[in-house]
Amino acid sequence: MTSSAHQVRPEPDFPAVFASVREQMLSTFSGDEQGRMLASPGLKTAGKFYGFATPADLVVKLPADRVEELIESGRGEPCSPRPGRPMKEWVRIPAPDEDSCLAYLLESRTFVSAIAKRHAS
């Protein structure tokens, strides 16, 4: 006799979570674009990437001190596409849920937008 009441719930399907949040971001910020970064689906504003998704992680661009804070707290991991060479303003967030994914992307977009505005001046 098997019982479905004790089945383990599968982890959220992060690519589907990112796809949903990506659509929310693109509908909210009509000037933003989709693109590919490190062979992964991503989002950019003013031609600059602010986030992308690997199969298991959200990767976002944030100020170096915020990246360090997320890593030290255990909520984030270094983004090191080449071993031993972490990207100092990028952090990997392991499979966030939809609300967290949206919050991190909004935070990242704000940071990248401010950089783009400074360079445009």
Neighbouring residues of 100: CB distance < 8 A, sequence distance ≥ 6: 93
Q: Looking at residue 113, what is its pLDDT?
A: 96
Produce one character per residue of 15-51: b if its CB has 16 or more CB atoms within 10 Å, e if not.
eebbeebbeebeeeeeebeeeebeebbbbbbbeebbb
Alpha-carbon distance of 85 to 97, in angstroms, equals 28
Residue found by looking up tokens 């990767």 in the block: 59
Residues found in the chain: 121
Structural domain spans, the chain: 13-120
Task: Per-residue pLDDT tens, the chain, 121 aa: give them.
Answer: 444 444 444 455 899 999 999 999 999 999 999 999 988 999 999 999 999 999 999 999 999 999 999 999 999 999 988 888 888 899 999 989 999 999 999 999 999 999 988 887 7
Q: Looking at residue 12, what is its pLDDT?
A: 58
Assigned CATH for 13-120:
3.90.1150
